[in-house]
Amino acid sequence: MTKKKLIAGNWKMNGSLAANEALVKALVAGVGTPACAIAVCVPAPYLAQVQTLVAGSPIELGAQDVSARAQGAFTGEQSAAMLKEFGVHYAIVGHSERRQYHGETDEVVAAKTAAALANGITPIVCVGETLAQREAGQTEEIVKRQLAAVIHVNGHCISEIVVAYEPVWAIGTGKTATPEQAQAVHAVLRAQLHHAASDHAAGIRILYGGSMNAANAAELLAQADIDGGLIGGASLKAPDFLQIIAAAS
Ligand code: PGA
């Protein structure tokens, strides 16, 4: 398998023109010739700025969300075709913050995944359980249900997606899943993908996200089914993000 790992930064609602410029310039200067794929998923108003800043570098541009709709009266949304015009390569879909604060259901996440794929954007589909669900022993059931909805709608091109396992209790909390905990869930997701697309399942990237940082990245990325990381807080500091990229290389 010649699949390169993917290290994707999720800036969330952080940044400014000045801060973005400093961060991306430091990344471009420090990244060298990486052995992994790299993306930064930036707030929508900064897509044009960051598109210019990453041009000619190995860093690809990502969005943090995408509309399920093609166009029309959907105030506040951005279509996949619009994102594509700004060179967007990846779009995060179904992040737990979207599910939690914006009521995104499994069906909406599946539809957004389809919209991204139809426009040549690689969706990074997020799944993950809450602490209560983990403690109730429901982790497997929850992530399988979330991924099943996406497979149901996008089965024919499921090999084109990236999956991100992000336990909700690990996001922004400094509480990382142990490599064993993460690998166990990644293996479940891999088996589910194998069932949906046997020939391609091994090639589908499954990222881990949730307090991944410069100190713990190498150990997580060494697991058999962890094919990269979706990094929030640590992607805002160039030295930390570069260290995670180095750990994946
Ligand atoms: P974190 O966020 O790295 O700050 O925990 C990860 C994410 O939510 O994608």
Is 34's pLDDT higher than 90? yes
* Sign of the Cα pseudo-torsion (224, 239, 165, 79, in order): negative
Asked whether 93 and 113 are in contact (CB, 8 A), the reply is yes
- pLDDT digit string, tens, across residues 92-131: 999 999 999 999 999 999 999 999 999 999 999 999 999 9
Does 221 have pLDDT greater than 60? yes
Q: Ligand 1: residues whose CB is within 6 Å?
A: 10, 166, 171-172, 209-212, 230-234
Q: Tell me the CA–centroid distance for residue 208 and ligand 1, in Å.
A: 10
Range with the lowest mean pLDDT among 13-17, 199-203, 209-213? 199-203
| Number of other CB atoms surrounding residue 51 within 10 Å | 15
- Rounded CA-CA distance 93/166 in Å is 12
Task: Indicate the DSSP class of residue 242.
Answer: H
Cα 180 from Cα 9, distance rounded (Å): 23
pLDDT at 1 over 90: no
Nearest to 246, CA basis, from 35, 74, 40, 49: 35
8-state DSSP, 199: T
Length of the chain: 249
Share of the chain above pLDDT 90, in %: 94
Mutate which of 7, 10, 14, 237 for ligand 1? The one with the most ligand atoms within 8 Å of its CB, which is 10
- What is the full DSSP assignment across 164-198? EE--GGGTTTS-PPPHHHHHHHHHHHHHHHHHH-T
State the catalytic residues: 95, 166
Q: Ligand 1 pocket check: which of 171, 220, 237 to mutate, most ligand atoms within 8 Å of Cβ?
A: 171
- Whether residue 158 contacts residue 197, with contact meaning beta carbons closer than 8 Å, is answered with yes
When pLDDT is averaged across residues 31-51 and rounded to a whole number, the result is 97
The neighbour count for residue 243, using CB atoms within 10 Å, is 18
pLDDT tens-digit map of 47-94:
999 999 999 999 999 999 999 999 999 999 999 999 999 999 999 999
Q: How confident is the model at residue 2 (pLDDT cuts 50, 70, 90)?
A: low
What is the rounded distance in angstroms from the CA atom of residue 234 to the CA atom of residue 244? 9
| Structural domains present in the chain | 6-248 (3.20.20.70)
pLDDT per position as a tens digit, 135-159: 999 999 999 999 999 999 998 899 9
User: In angstroms, what is the span from residue 9 Cα to ligand 1's centroid?
Assistant: 9
Higher-confidence residue: 14 or 197? 14
CA distance 81 to 130: 33
**Per-residue pLDDT at 190 exceeds 80:** yes
- Above pLDDT 70, what percent of the chain? 99
Give start and end residues of each alpha helix (H) in the chain: 17-30, 47-54, 80-85, 96-101, 106-118, 131-135, 139-154, 179-196, 217-221, 238-247
